[in-house]
Chain A
Amino acid sequence: QKEVEQDPGPLSVPEGAIVSLNCTYSNSAFQYFMWYRQYSRKGPELLMYTYSSGNKEDGRFTAQVDKSSKYISLFIRDSQPSDSATYLCAMSESSGGYQKVTFGTGTKLQVIP
């Protein structure tokens, strides 16, 4: 079993819908929780990161972390066709003086105009 589990999708939604993306994890040592967005043939780009349980909002995006359940979510409000991409959850733990990041499989999202 992988340390980070993420449904690969694909997920297809109409423009304007609220999108919910989720990951579960098993490693209690994870400290930082991140969401990356990856467009086709590009590298991942950091969207949001959180350190503690709770919600963090940035524009149309809300990241949610529940450490007790080992569950994280990303919500996208008013989804746009430009949001079509693969969304990777990622988590990090302290390892030999740096934060070692483990990624989920990624969920492919398509927002249909």
Chain B
Amino acid sequence: GAGVSQSPRYKVAKRGQDVALRCDPISGHVSLFWYQQALGQGPEFLTYFQNEAQLDKSGLPSDRFFAERPEGSVSTLKIQRTQQEDSAVYLCASSTRTANYGYTFGSGTRLTVV
């Protein structure tokens, strides 16, 4: 596709519910990143994939957060047993291998846990 596509755009979850957020990166982009952006804050790194390999998951805040990219294209961020502090915008970005500081971001999924 022309850009990074994320779905759903908005998600309301009851506390304790599991959620899955999807990211379709730009076709052919090797690198894929997930970021969490709280209200009024900058994006915070969660995890990085190069093709299907998850090379860095140091930013995942707890073991309730899990990300996968099984075929090296679409990625899913799963949050189990959601808590109120998980409320944020979850941004996905992709880039080519050689220019992976200049990310292309999706519009994000706004998660609200009630």
Contacts and interface: CB of A to CB of B under 8 A. Distances in A.
Interface of A: 4, 6, 8, 32, 34, 41-46, 49, 88, 90, 92, 95-106
Contacts, number: 64
Given A8-B40, A96-B56, A106-B41, A43 B101 contact: no
A44 B105 contact: yes
A102 B103 CA distance: 12
19 contacts: A32-B101, A34-B101, A34-B102, A41-B107, A42-B107, A43-B4, A44-B43, A45-B104, A49-B101, A92-B101, A97-B50, A98-B56, A98-B100, A101-B103, A103-B42, A103-B44, A104-B42, A105-B40, A105-B41
A31 to B, nearest CB: 8
Contact of B91 (A43, A97, A99): A43
Contacts of B104: 45-46
Q: Is the interface of A mostly helix, strand, loop or mixed?
A: strand
Interface centre among A43, A45, A90 (most CB of B within 10 A): A43
Interface of B: 4, 31, 33, 35, 40-45, 48, 50, 55-56, 91, 93, 100-108, 110
